[in-house]
Structure 1
Amino acid sequence: MLVQDRNVAAMKVVREQLGQGKKRLGLFYGAAHMPDFHRRMTKLGFRPKTTTWTPAWNLKIKKPSQSDDLILLLRLLQRLSQ
């Protein structure tokens, strides 16, 4: 129900923007929203042209480098000298 409620609110904005003459809009929602959005957009007369999956999050943990450690050490020394 939460997904559909959010989609109703988003589609209200879509209709408002289209009414103002906007030609390009973007909807940034997760995959759970897409089946409902598809139905709602189809009812407005839109048809899918392409599908593009874009990662929203990079969950790879960056390994700290030696330069990161050096920067932290320099900041610590700076704080200690104040």
Structure 2
Amino acid sequence: MSSNNNRYDDEFKGRAVKMVVEKGRPISDVARDIGVSEPALRRWIKASTEPEDATSEKLAKLEDENIRLKKELDDKHGSRGSM
């Protein structure tokens, strides 16, 4: 195998993450039981929980920016129309 990143499929990683997140098992125990390093399992856990939060945060920022830009555009068009 050329890369350790592709060593385990998403299903395997997902089951490992569930053992820790949903079942409350210690990372050290799960990592040892499935034969992966603790740092790798921690990365999988972070990756599985972080993107959802990050996506929600990015979406909220984009919505705020959209509202601000629409208001700015309306203000500019309103100013031109009254001149």
Q: TM-score, normalised by structure 1?
A: 0.30
Q: TM-score, normalised by structure 2?
A: 0.29
Flag the structure with higher helix content.
2
Q: Which has the higher contact order (CA 8 A, sep 6+)?
A: 1
